Amino acid sequence: MGIMLGLVLIILIFAVVSTLLLTGKADDNYGSSTKRNTTNLTLIYVVIIFIGLASLGVYIWRI
């Protein structure tokens, strides 16, 4: 259970730091760079879903 809590805390800290770093920068060309932004967001979601499913698998396996 401690490992799962640690994984959740690491993901939470990563998400908060990433959000704060991204909000500090203004993107003047946001409208013209939507493809790049969409690709980046998709990659973030894929990684987070993979980590979440792996964590769930480890949790179920440990029970």
CA neighbor of 47 nearest in space, from 22, 8, 11: 11
Structural domain count of the chain: 1
Owning domain of residue 10: 1-62
Query: What pTM value is reported for the model?
Result: 0.48
Tens-digit pLDDT profile for residues 4-37: 888 999 999 999 888 878 776 666 666 667 778 7
Tens-digit pLDDT profile for residues 36-62: 878 899 999 999 999 999 999 999 988
